[in-house]
Amino acid sequence: MSNAQEKISQLQQQINQYNHEYYVLDQPSVPDAEYDRLMTALIDLETANPTLKTIDSPSQKVGGQALKSFTQVTHQLPMLSLDNVFSLEDFHSFVKRVKDRLNSNEPIVFCAEPKLDGLAVSLRYEQGQLVQAATRGDGSVGENITTNIRTIKSIPLKLMGTPGKDFPEIVEVRGEVFMPKASFDALNVLAKKRGEKGFANPRNAAAGSLRQLDSKITAKRNLAFYAYSLGFVGESASQGAESTDLTHEFFANSHHERLCQLKNLGLPMCPEVRLLENEGAGDAFYQGILDKRSALSYEIDGTVFKVDNIVLQKRLGFVARAPRWAIAYKFPAEEELTCVEDVEFQVGRTGAITPVARLKPIFVGGVTVSNATLHNQDEINRLGLMVNDTVVIRRAGDVIPQIVSVVVGKRPDNARDIIFPTTCPVCDSAVVKLEGEAILRCTAGLFCAAQRKEAIKHFSSRKAHDVDGLGDKLVEQLVDEELINTPVDLFKLTEIQVSMMERMGKKSATNLIAGLEAAKTTTLAKFIYGLGIREVGEATAANLANHFYTLAAIESASLEALKNVSDVGEIVAKNIVNFFKEEHNLTVVSGLSAVMNWPTIEIKSAEDLPLAEQIFVLTGTLTQMGRAEAKTALQSLGAKVAGSVSKNTDFVVAGDKAGSKLTKAQDLGISVLTEDGLVALLAEHGVTI
């Protein structure tokens, strides 16, 4: 048998096997790209050797953060991200969560649209004139890209209509800037002619174009824009401050109708946006957009569903940085085949030890991928992964590289097991895996080099020791220049050392040293919180201090003794025990306690803690005191201050503009106090504000 004949035979057998897996078993073991490559290789060989082509050959079958170059803009209303789902089942789960939260079984009307693959921006119009444009950034602060946005032909510099009649004095419009496919292709053709490197995908091209310092370059890129929501809507008050929310006065109570109103004001709206009368139409919309994806003039990576009723949107509220009333239903991610050349272990800033697969570089989803996180031992076990295995790699949600499966049939003889470390790969300290957690963690939070920047930032933060003049960037600079390794080293700094650093003059150095001196006077509760023990927040630290009274007692406390403290359960108790069990941590704590000082805690009787075991939740704006001040006052009387309302909550304190927490408290029949009521309650027990 000739070499060509042997190769053709092997390819035919392999492709037939993959056909069986795909069409019969519905369990494909390789991505489409690998299948297509094999088929192309077979066709090429058969074309070159026509006498070797057989009638039963599978080839005969018909078988598819802000750049320094720009000023920063603080968003008046945060620019939120969207949570994602990747299956119809997950989409239905989202709908169920919406209905459960609304306590309703009525059909949900959705505004549905393609998920544009571009860059989110916010356009601010005042008196109908475009005055500012900004990127999303971190959701709170973005980049000022006004000059470049003005070059986009589809964005009006002036709204149609009359201010105060057709729209309020201030209108912020949120939407997506993207590069149409034709513009992207033309841009890369031009780059090739010039011998320049082209862009990997339209999204990167759009982002790069918006971040050009020369707006004349941006103007040549032929960017486009579609509006998808409103941001802040209001009027100008004295001295340029913004006041009353005028959204409902000028805009409809329907998300879809609002987009139509924006269109009437001259802002482009994606033509594929649809109003769906119920959630059952969601799958058909998703499938319809997926089917026409390649025919659209712009790139998309999924669909977006938003509860159409604005009142319901407000009732549903937000979680973290995403609204509960919207979801991105993403398209299946692109997949490729590659090899795991090694597995390394990284230590994160919180001590989490994460296995990372080092891959043979592969181009997938528009980028070259060489690494993929494996998350934890459970995920490796689920995959059955070994070093040197061939794997299917996917960019989950077109963003994060993910290993989907192992092609066991391609496992080589030199495949080897993945062995997890028994000590921290960075500092060689003990590692632990708590019950109920899948992640290994380094226990040397104050010592480990991988965690030291985060540990020092936390130690000096406002809620801990509040070191005046010590910001996050300065902490990073001090660590990078090896002037500090642990929080203890902060108190060894001298004015001369600090003043000699880049961008640090004598005055700044003097202020920092003074701030460090002031930080030495603290409380035991703040000291415990500042240590950064996992899951020990302000309230837990205060409870520990009030229960044990001394640092020595906390250090030596047993697991059972810790569990007797209010708000300390099994997991938190283990975190505390493991922290103080690590010799490196004890060395740092000892060094800190030698320079810090806090007053002896007075042992309180039950009469001194009249609100013991009672749970309060604060919501809204308090005018007679700050939220932090109110929290401290309540805790001094033994109360627990929680962040969310539950059936166990005793009181909700509602200030001005109280939101969903007040609504939930009323629904659960929980007692609600006004700010005056809280002040009276505190005064009744001898605490005055």
Where in the chain is CATH 3.40.50.10190?
Answer: 606-684
Nearest to residue 125, comparing CAs of 242, 273, 224?
242
Region(s) of the chain under CATH 2.40.50.140 = 335-410
Give the Cα separation of 244 and 6 in Å (integer): 78
In the chain, ranges of CATH 1.10.150.20 domains:
433-602
Confidence at residue 491, expressed as pLDDT on a 0 to 100 scale: 93
**Dmax (CA) of the chain:** 100
Report residues of the chain scoring pLDDT below 50. 23-24, 26, 61-67, 237-242
Q: What is the predicted pLDDT for the residue at 399?
A: 60
| CATH number of the structural domain 606-684 | 3.40.50.10190
The whole-number pLDDT of residue 66 equals 41
Spell out a b/e string for 651-662, using b for 16 or more CB atoms within 10 Å of the CB, else e.
bbbbbeebebbb
Looking at residue 257, its pLDDT comes to: 96
Instruction: Tell me how far apart the terminal alpha carbons of the chain are, to the nearest angstrom.
Output: 95
Side chain identity, residue 191: A
Condensed to tens digits (0 to 9), the pLDDT of residues 313-342 reads 999 998 767 899 999 998 876 778 999 999
> What pLDDT does residue 282 have?
92
- CATH homologous superfamily of domain 72-84+101-328? DNA ligase/mRNA capping enzyme (3.30.470.30)
**Strand pairing of 651-654 and 671-673?**
parallel
Of 115, 306, 457, 574, the active-site residue reads 115
CATH architecture of 3-60: Orthogonal Bundle (1.10)
Amino acid 406: pLDDT? 93
103 CB-near residues (< 8 Å, 6+ apart): none
CATH 3.30.70.1250 fits 433-602, yes or no: no
Report residue 168 as tokens. 């309020």
CB 245 within 8 A of CB 233: yes
CATH ID of 335-410, from 3.40.50.720, 2.40.280.10, 1.10.357.10, 2.40.50.140? 2.40.50.140
With beta carbons less than 8 A apart as the criterion, state whether 453 and 349 touch: yes
Per the annotation, the verdict on 216 as an active-site residue is: no
Beta strands in 86-152 (DSSP E): 110-116, 119-126, 129-135, 141-143
Can you give the pLDDT at residue 366? 64
CA 615 to chain centre: 30
Domain with CATH 1.10.287.610 in the chain: 3-60
